[in-house]
Amino acid sequence: MKLKLKLKILNIIAGRPVSFIHPANARKLNIHAGERIEISKGGKKIISITDVASKIVKENEIGFSKELLRLFALSNHDEVEVNIALSSESINIISKKLHGKELSRKEIINIIKDIVTNSLTEAEIAYFVSAVYEKGMTLKETIYLTEAIYKTGKSIKWHTNKIADKHSIGGIAGNRTTPIVVSICASAGIVMPKTSSRAITSASGTADAVETVSKVDFNIEDLKKIVKKTNACLAWGGSLGLAPADDKLIRIERLLNVDPESQLIASILGKKLSAGSKYVLIDIPYGNNAKVTKKEAKRLKQKFIKIGKHFGLKIEVVLTPGNEPIGNGIGPVLEMRDVLRVLKRENPPIDLENKSIFLASKILEMMKKAKKGNGTELAKSILNSGKAYKKFLEIINAQGRHSFSLKNPKFKFNIYSSKSGKITEINNHKINSLAKLLGCPADKNAGIYLYYHVHDKVKRGDLVLTLYAESDIKLKEAIFIIKRDSPIQID
Amino acid sequence: MKLKLKLKILNIIAGRPVSFIHPANARKLNIHAGERIEISKGGKKIISITDVASKIVKENEIGFSKELLRLFALSNHDEVEVNIALSSESINIISKKLHGKELSRKEIINIIKDIVTNSLTEAEIAYFVSAVYEKGMTLKETIYLTEAIYKTGKSIKWHTNKIADKHSIGGIAGNRTTPIVVSICASAGIVMPKTSSRAITSASGTADAVETVSKVDFNIEDLKKIVKKTNACLAWGGSLGLAPADDKLIRIERLLNVDPESQLIASILGKKLSAGSKYVLIDIPYGNNAKVTKKEAKRLKQKFIKIGKHFGLKIEVVLTPGNEPIGNGIGPVLEMRDVLRVLKRENPPIDLENKSIFLASKILEMMKKAKKGNGTELAKSILNSGKAYKKFLEIINAQGRHSFSLKNPKFKFNIYSSKSGKITEINNHKINSLAKLLGCPADKNAGIYLYYHVHDKVKRGDLVLTLYAESDIKLKEAIFIIKRDSPIQID
């Protein structure tokens, strides 16, 4: 039985796309609260979880939460057709993976399509992520997953084929090299339209950090204008509709800090393909507290190269040390401050600067702007000349610059060393969870400032780190945790 | 920062407990839609996902969905304290299990408490279920899980220690023995306050079926009155607050038909302990298409006995053949009809009758109402004398009998045999998924009627089964599936 209902846009942000229907219509559809309905209009359709509500919607009305409206842009009072949504075939496919069986191309595409059209609940997606995490995926399955993530979204065609890109697999606190690398490379004439994700397992993604100084969400047309003007961009991939499945997967992965290898590869390469990139530098930080060990990093490198080749990408992979955080600040604003210190040549964190130059040199060489071995020199000279900073300002101006609101957050707490000695460990995982506890990445100003690195010597009473938060309860919780289990070891 | 907000009860059923706060309060709390808040009043507190909404709530108001109100019974305009909820320690514990590590007593209790207080989202619970499914639990962990499920809910104390109970691990379509067994045993003077669950992996649980003829949801006081009057009850465990964690786990397990062994044991024994049972008969159906093979059934039997002993329960375990559905009807109403045919001695499904007599005989012997070996005879005589049916009517009258509304559903479709031969298989899994596709257990009248059993001979053109549904689209989908992949094999 199909019903024709009139759309009512509700002022409700539910954290997920939800519709609201009247009990009388729910009875007619034979549907119960929390179940899924199919909403269609003019050949387009979407699936939505539905709440049953009187008062806020009348009989024969259907209410849309803001999130649902974003997925299915309609106007108030539009008439839509509503029907029960049949239980998805994907359930059986996820169950198959949970039992350790290999999935076919068709099955993987089915799941990813269902994620995009909202046909799977968050709990069901969690089962999928968990099954892939536990059982792994073959190279074939990873290729299908990459393809599915790529093809279920939009993609960008550029005026040239020489599109460069970089990506880090993440997991290292701080490590905000991207704005620096992009500014250097774009100064050298390389076209580098960089789209980044928000934080998955770390406290801040590039998109979270750049958002503290400019807009990051654009449609494809606006993005093209920015790139035409500046050779580059520093945008959030999520708003472009490039890989909508990936954004939902990341949301679920983030809940438990789960990031299965095959999903990591498919997520990165799927987005690179959608973004129209051809030359891609992949950074794999390895080591204690990094996402991968050196051995795993080497295996991952081979997989990136093989799968990239399958899709016609030129891929270069570098393995970089990932034992400790990079830069001093952890958290969107604090990381952006580090970036600006490097670009403006004002007391730059040396580890962040060196890593950025290294990555930029690889891209300069790959794109033939420098001969093999000469990339570092070129990158350094661009940075020192102030050209990179100028390029950065150009990019963020084109993106719509904010009045650099890099305020100090409301609450802070200093941690001092309880003994003298040498720092032997700064644990990435613990730093990341602390920063998240402090409110990152949603609270832009929250985070951690580190005054030392591994191998530095400290004296008893030295200030070793500062915690920043927007809420006193979050700060208190972080203080409790850091006192119980410090991320910094001194011996 | 804590806010004092005024409660507004909303006419919204969301399928999960949700609160609604105004954007201005959300900003003050530094909280975003879909995140969790802690609501407290008078020493009691609960965690809730919150939606951000203007219009339906004003500034300084907090709206409760019907589900949230059920968990935290307050009145309109009550003042509550609202604060951000810190991210739960359980996340790290679930992550630990996902990595295959053994959990401590404290850790398991932590997770179960968080499930009860609503501190974990459905996606997070799915990760937990999936981790337990993949990694299993040791005997120790299973004991802790049982204890946690038992102790985070209420429990019942009876006037006597001689409380009998039975439980099937489920998975067999039909198999509605409980109302028959309870009626026979209670007739013999055994006190048997049976609380049952709703369907997990099958099309109908005992509670779903009994609900077609009487009320099944009671508080503990009312339940005691029913048992005092009739020696027994056939109630839904969920409404008693006996094992609230288990009800939530089952809801998530049901999504993907996942039912990890340790959770199955803890769920059953936890509920038996809460219900105050002392003598428990466990039925483990085994075989092709059953939940377990004979080998697994034997191992499971040992675990039930060991863990039961740990908690001071007298447990007897029987292994019964579970190759095919039991009875003719699959679905709440259709199964209740089978039960009534046995109790009223009107053309009873013989397999359902025999299994019920077998289980009743074991309990009669265990409770010393019959000598070893004489239980079957006693059970048969009670059934044939009409006493069991009288007892059943007594019980459901005491529970609040409906006017037996065992209507035929709106839509039906007959399936005829396409060839002559002997039936070699009736697949439980396929029958269960078909029945669920048809709308079971929510649509009480929906389901399947089977006219034959394995080993029966059929001729081409014989009616082998009928599909029943409340919605034509569900019926069509089931017809499509059954034609593609029949649950019945004829050779």
Span B271-298, pLDDT tens digits: 999 999 999 999 999 998 899 999 999 9
Looking at residues B200-216, what average pLDDT do you find?
Answer: 89
Pairing of strands A18-21, A44-53: parallel
pLDDT tens digits along B54-111: 889 999 999 999 989 988 889 999 999 999 887 678 988 999 999 999 999 999 999 9
Quick one: DSSP state of residue A197? P
Give the contacts of B306 (CB within 8 A, at least 6 positions apart): B139
B-facing residues of A in 392-451 (CB < 8 A) are 436-437, 439, 442-443
User: Of A371, A399, A427, which one is at a domain's C-terminal end?
Assistant: A399
pLDDT at residue number A404: 62
Residue B305 in tokens:
């006995």
In a domain, A309, yes or no: yes
Residue A34 to residue B52, Cβ atoms within 8 A: no
**Chain segment A235-274, per-residue pLDDT in tens:** 998 778 888 898 889 888 888 878 889 999 999 999 999 9
**Residues of chain A found within 8 Å of residue B1, distances taken between Cβ atoms:** 471-473
Inside any domain, residue A131? yes
In this structure, are B215 and B352 located in the same domain? yes
Virtual torsion, Cα B119, B123, B128, B129, nearest 10 deg: 120
CA distance B242 to A170: 45
Contact, A392 vs A192, CB < 8 A? Answer: no
CA A93/CA A108 separation, integer angstroms: 8
**Residue B274: domain span:** 164-241+257-399
Beta bridge partners of B44: B41
CB contact under 8 A, A15 and B30: no
Take residue B47 and report the two structure tokens written for it: 């965690």
Claim to verify: residue A374 and residue A294 sit in the same structural domain: yes
Minimal Cα distance from B90: which residue of A? Answer: A256
The C-alpha of A54 sits at a distance from chain B's nearest C-alpha, in angstroms, of 6
Residue A104 belongs to domain with CATH number: 1.20.970.10
Q: Is the pLDDT of residue B334 over 70?
A: yes
Asked if residue B278 and residue B319 are part of one domain, the reply reads: yes
Which chain B residue's Cα is nearest to A54?
B11
> For residue B218, is it within any domain?
yes
Q: Letter for the amino acid at B353?
A: E
Window A:31-60, CB contacts with B under 8 Å: 32-35, 49, 51-56
**B352-362 b/e (C-beta count within 10 Å ≥ 16 → b):** bbbbbbbbbbb
| CA A90-A91-A92 angle, 5° bins | 90
Percent of chain B with pLDDT over 70: 98
- Touching check for B65 and chain A: CB below 8 Å? yes
A195 and A52 together in one domain? no
Looking up residue A308, the CATH number of its domain turns out to be: 3.40.1030.10
Question: Does a structural domain hold residue B418?
Answer: yes
How do residues A307-335 score in pLDDT, each as one tens digit? 999 999 999 999 999 999 999 999 999 99
pLDDT at B209 over 70: yes
Q: Categorize the per-residue pLDDT at A348 as very low, low, confident or very high, splitting at 50, 70 and 90.
A: very high
Residues A216, A202 share a domain: yes
If one compares B173 and B27, the residue with the highest pLDDT of the two is B173
Residue B347 maps to a domain: yes
Under an 8 A CB cutoff, do B130 and A125 touch? no
Q: Residue A247 has what pLDDT? A: 82
For residues A209 and A277, state if they share a domain. Answer: yes
ipTM above 0.90, yes or no: no
What is the distance in angstroms between the Cα of B122 and the nearest Cα belonging to chain A? 5
Q: Report pLDDT digits (tens) over B168-204.
A: 998 899 999 999 999 999 999 999 999 988 876 678 9
* Residues 235 through 294 of chain A touching chain B, CB cutoff 8 Å: 252, 255-258
Distances from the Cα of B248 to the Cαs of A88, A234, B90, B322, in angstroms? 22, 43, 16, 27
Across the interface, whether the CB atoms of B51 and A124 are under 8 A apart is answered: no
Residue positions of B annotated with a catalytic role: 259
Between A7 and A72, residue with greater pLDDT: A7
Three-state SS at B287: coil
ω into A441 cis (within 30 of 0): yes
Which residues between 335 and 354 in chain B have a beta carbon less than 8 angstroms from any beta carbon of chain A? none
Q: B20 CB near a chain A CB, below 8 Å?
A: yes
The residues, ordered by sequence, that sit 6+ positions from A299 with a Cβ below 8 Å of its Cβ are none
Number of domains in chain B: 4
Measured between CA atoms, the residue of chain B closest to residue A437 is B87
pLDDT at B121: 85
Q: Report how far apart, in Å, the C-alpha atoms of B165 and of each of B8, B176, B189, B195, B363 are.
A: 42, 15, 13, 9, 8
Cis status, amide bond into A332, omega within 30 of 0: no
Final residue belonging to a domain, choices A49, A84, A119: A84
CA B365/CA B87 separation, integer angstroms:
52
The DSSP annotation for B432-467 comes to HHHHHHTTTTTSTT-EEEE---TT-EE-TT-EEEEE
Separation in Å, CA of A52 to nearest CA in chain B: 5
Domain final residue, candidates A355, A374, A399:
A399
How far, in Å, CA of A91 to CA of A97, rounded? 10
Do A203 and A267 lie in one domain? The reply is yes
Q: Among A1, A9, A11, A257, pick the best mutation site for testing chain B contact (most B Cβ within 10 A).
A: A11
Q: Distance between alpha carbon A415 and the CA centroid of its chain, in Å?
A: 30
Looking at the structure, tell me whether residues B486 and B345 fall in a common domain: no
Q: Is residue A157 part of a domain?
A: no
Is the domain of A377 the same as that of A474?
A: no
* Top-confidence residue, B455 or A199: B455
Same domain, A322 and A206: yes
Write the CATH number for A43.
Answer: 2.40.40.20
Is there a single domain that holds both residue A184 and residue A219?
yes
Cβ(A49)–Cβ(A19) below 8 Å: yes
Instruction: Count Cβ–Cβ pairs < 8 Å, chain A vs chain B.
Output: 161
Q: What is the pLDDT of residue B31?
A: 80
**Does one domain contain both A280 and A197?**
yes
Q: Does A122 touch chain B (CB under 8 A)?
A: yes
Residue B147 lies in a domain: no
Residue A12 to chain B, least CA–CA distance (Å): 4
Burial string for A473-485 (b: 16+ CB within 10 Å, else e) reads: bbbebbbebbeee
Position B246 in a domain? no
Instruction: State mean pLDDT over B325-353.
Output: 96
